[in-house]
């Protein structure tokens, strides 16, 4: 029973559709690590897809602000403008869905879903040092996380924390603890503009990291047409 693992779709319909086409036939169930909305011009599409397709999901920080659950005070101008735009663009039903999304960690089928870190849904796990600081508080052998928009994640061994190379399949071993990031579907920030996701097969104990090209120009054009900040469109082209 493989899982499609997606995170940080951010209202990018073109990227989500490309991922679903690329992953067709490879999975039975879908899990999502949050940030359906914010930044992109199609938040309703992403939320409606999630409402009818995901088996398990946690909320992201953008889901909270786009639903009006949290103040925009600490957000940078582009993120703030997109959250305000998304709040108004979302249908009442879709906003209510975002409002009700659970906070991670969410245990599901032998692994945990979190948006930021297992200890704090809003924390960024960017480096091995970030993970080293929390390693003794981790009690689940396998967690999937998002939030950084960087595919890969971290492996925790007795002698230290190592970054996971997303360029090859990850074979899970019993002696390690894993924090695995499928990357961002709708706004990659690891230098590769292709939409990112992962397939996890519990039977084979393998996580496969995948990237797929999508119509970036169309997604960027919609961001411009919506009157959203131009930086949100241009960063899709470079993936940073
Ligand atoms: Zn995000």
Q: Please list the pLDDT of the chain residue by residue as tens digits (240 residues).
A: 899 999 999 999 999 999 999 999 999 999 999 999 999 999 999 999 999 999 999 999 999 999 888 877 777 888 889 999 999 999 999 999 999 999 999 999 999 999 999 999 999 999 999 999 999 999 899 999 999 999 999 999 999 999 999 999 999 999 999 999 999 999 999 999 999 999 999 999 999 999 999 999 999 999 999 999 999 999 999 999
**Residues 71, 45 contacting (CB under 8 angstroms):** no
The Cα 170–Cα 206 span in angstroms is 6
The pLDDT value given to residue 115: 98
- Residue 118 Cα to ligand 1 midpoint, Å, equals 16
The pLDDT value given to residue 123: 96
- Residue 200 Cα to ligand 1 midpoint, Å, equals 21
Angle of helix 13-23 relative to helix 216-225, nearest 10 degrees, comes to 150
- Residue 8 Cα to ligand 1 midpoint, Å, equals 4
Residues facing 111 on adjacent strands: 108
**Residues 23, 195 contacting (CB under 8 angstroms):** no
Residues facing 160 on adjacent strands: 157
The Cα 96–Cα 115 span in angstroms is 19
- Residue 148 Cα to ligand 1 midpoint, Å, equals 7
Helix extents (H) in 112-229: 128-132, 216-225
In the chain, what are the helix, strand and coil shares in percent, each to the nearest 5? Answer: 30, 20, 45
- Residue 60 Cα to ligand 1 midpoint, Å, equals 7
Helix extents (H) in the chain: 13-23, 43-53, 61-66, 77-89, 92-100, 128-132, 216-225, 230-238
Which residues are in the CB-under-5-Å shell of ion ligand 1?
Answer: 8, 35
Structure tokens at 15: 């990227």
**Residues 108, 143 contacting (CB under 8 angstroms):** no
Contacts of 73 (CB under 8 A, 6+ apart): none
- Residue 63 Cα to ligand 1 midpoint, Å, equals 9
> Per-residue pLDDT tens for 34-68?
999 999 999 999 999 999 999 999 999 999 999 88
- Residue 147 Cα to ligand 1 midpoint, Å, equals 5
**Residues 196, 188 contacting (CB under 8 angstroms):** yes
- Residue 175 Cα to ligand 1 midpoint, Å, equals 30
- Residue 158 Cα to ligand 1 midpoint, Å, equals 30
Strands 111-113 and 142-144, bridge-based pairing: parallel
Structure tokens at 9: 């779709």
- Residue 169 Cα to ligand 1 midpoint, Å, equals 24
């Amino acid at each position: 029973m493989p899982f499609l693992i997606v995170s940080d779709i951010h209202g990018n319909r073109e990227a989500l559709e490309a991922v679903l086409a690329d992953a067709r036939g490879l999975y039975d169930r879908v899990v999502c690590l949050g940030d359906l909305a914010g930044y992109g011009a199609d938040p309703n599409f992403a939320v409606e897809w999630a409402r009818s397709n995901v088996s398990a999901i946690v909320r992201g920080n953008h889901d909270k602000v786009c639903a009006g659950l949290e103040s925009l005070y600490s957000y940078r101008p582009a993120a703030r403008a997109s959250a305000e735009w998304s709040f108004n663009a979302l249908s009442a039903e879709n906003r209510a869905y975002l409002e009700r999304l659970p906070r991670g960690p969410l245990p599901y089928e032998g692994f945990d879903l979190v948006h930021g870190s297992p200890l704090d849904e809003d924390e960024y796990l960017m480096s091995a040092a970030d993970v080293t600081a929390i390693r003794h508080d981790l009690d689940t052998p396998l967690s999937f996380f998002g939030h950084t928009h960087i595919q890969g994640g971290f492996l925790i061994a007795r002698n230290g924390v190592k970054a996971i190379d997303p360029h090859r399949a990850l074979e899970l071993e019993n002696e390690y603890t894993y924090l695995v990031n499928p990357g961002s579907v709708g706004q990659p920030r690891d230098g590769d503009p292709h939409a990112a996701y992962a397939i996890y097969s519990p039977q084979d104990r393998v996580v496969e990291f995948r990237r797929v090209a999508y119509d970036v120009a169309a997604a960027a054009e919609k961001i411009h047409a919506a009157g959203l900040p131009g930086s949100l469109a241009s960063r899709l082209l470079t993936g940073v």
